[in-house]
Amino acid sequence: MKLRSDDITWQEIDGELVILDTARSVYLTTNVAGAHLAKLLTEDRTLGDLADALVEEYGIDRATAQADAEAFVADLREKDLLR
């Protein structure tokens, strides 16, 4: 999966990220961990890749990382921000 590149803009503010779909006027704000994942999604990644990145970056357990990655991807899908 990967973030859409068409009609998407984003701005990082104090480590957090605001992703805006300019065509539909839909936006998503993230925390620092979400910003980290969103940056990874500029290239094609799997849920496992995202969970691994959270474990590596934040030292959390794999189950928590997997659940967090799944929740973040669900938010992106709900707002149609993935291609």
Locate the domains of the chain by residue range. 8-78
Closest CA to 68 of 23, 21, 31, 14: 31
Q: In percent, how much of the chain has pLDDT > 90?
A: 94
Q: What pLDDT was estimated at residue 42?
A: 95
Show the tokens assigned to 60. Answer: 């959390």
Burial of 78 (0-12, 13-18, 19+ CB in 10 A): exposed
Determine the average pLDDT of the residues in 60-81: 96
CA distance 82 to 76: 6
Q: What pLDDT was estimated at residue 78?
A: 94
29-67: per-residue pLDDT in tens?
999 999 999 999 999 999 999 999 999 999 999 999 999
Fold of 8-78: Arc Repressor Mutant, subunit A (1.10.10)
The whole-model pTM stands at 0.91
